[in-house]
Amino acid sequence: MKIALIQMNSQPDRAANLRQAELLLQRTLSGKPDLIVLPEHFDWTGGTAHQKRAAADRVPGGAAYELVKNFAARNQVAVHAGSLLETKPGSERIYNTSVVFDAHGNEIGVYRKIHLFDIVAPDGKVYRESETVAAGDSLLIYEIGGLRIACCICYDLRFSRLFDRLASENVDVFILPAAFTRQTGIDHWEVLCRARAIEFQAYVVACGQCGHYETPTGERREMHGHSMVCDPWGKVVAEIKDDVDVLFVEIDPARIATVRSLIPMAAHRVDLQGIELEVRMAQR
């Protein structure tokens, strides 16, 4: 199975982002992929809370949704539409949503990001995704080309219990659209991608944003880029650096089977619910 990853530099300009996405989607066709992956926030990055709410659109039916749906149908290729801003009826908050289309342009399913990025970075920059985004409450696994593919988004990467839950359903590939910050990405991005691949003996397809955008107050925010694919042994088999680009990679089911036979973790896994736990404090 051939996957194409699209690394973008989205801005607080929805029309420009959709033009960029469509051009890059078109570029992937030269590699004849079975599945194309877009990054997190391919339709909108940055802006004020009000602008984010205004940029959010319907699922189904919105401009970003229809662009990808029509591209998939027209070119007979499946697309994992990284994430887009989705309106949440009756709420001031919105969703950060992945939508997956099959090669006929039919919606396979949606995944709404569960773990929201509320942190203070080492340089003092504040990220409060939950101020505008509501957390999702369901997971999605889908099948293409005989492979079981699980959805996650960006900050989800840090939560191994989510991956453990998905892996319990015999997942072969995790797809992670992202917009990792440069500060956290330098130290954590590759480490976490490789760790999840090793822990759960599956491919990790991590598709990111690169470059920078500016906040309404003129603050420059850098994104890490470095879209990559890790195989089930934890080896980085393909990577883009810091540029807007397209990356092609082959997913080999035989590689998954080989790694799982070498280290049969599934057969060795213990149900820890039945294991007694003691916590003891040393005397002072």
**DSSP per position, 57-102:** B-TTTSHHHHHHHHHHHHHT-EEEEEEEEEE-TT-S-EEEEEEEE-
Best CA proximity match to 39, nearest among 73, 5, 65, 68:
5
Q: Which CATH number fits domain 2-264: 3.60.110.10, 2.60.120.620, 3.10.20.30, 3.30.70.1140?
A: 3.60.110.10
Domain range annotation of the chain: 2-264
Q: What is the pLDDT of residues 38-75, one digit of tens each?
A: 999 999 999 999 999 999 999 999 999 999 999 999 99
Half-sphere exposure of 4 (CA within 13 A, CB side): 21
Q: What is the pLDDT of residues 213-251, one digit of tens each?
A: 998 889 999 999 999 999 999 999 999 999 999 999 999
For residues 201, 203, 204 and 206, what is the CA-based torsion angle, rounded to 10 degrees? 170
User: Can you tell me whether residue 4 is helix, strand or coil?
Assistant: strand
User: Which pLDDT band, with edges at 50, 70 and 90, does 273 fall under?
Assistant: confident
pLDDT value at residue 283: 85
Residues paired with residue 7 on neighbouring β-strands, in sequence order: 245
Half-sphere exposure of 15 (CA within 13 A, CB side): 0
> Which residues have a catalytic role annotated?
40, 113, 154
User: Can you tell me whether residue 221 is helix, strand or coil?
Assistant: strand
User: Which pLDDT band, with edges at 50, 70 and 90, does 183 fall under?
Assistant: very high
Tokens of 73: 């149908």
pLDDT value at residue 123: 86
Q: What is the pLDDT of residues 80-132, one digit of tens each?
A: 999 999 999 999 999 999 999 999 999 999 999 999 999 998 888 899 999 99
> Which residues fall within 8 angstroms of residue 197, CB to CB, at 6 or more apart?
174, 203, 204, 230, 231, 232, 233, 234
pLDDT value at residue 225: 98
More confident residue, 273 or 12: 12
Q: What is the pLDDT of residues 20-34, one digit of tens each?
A: 999 999 999 999 999
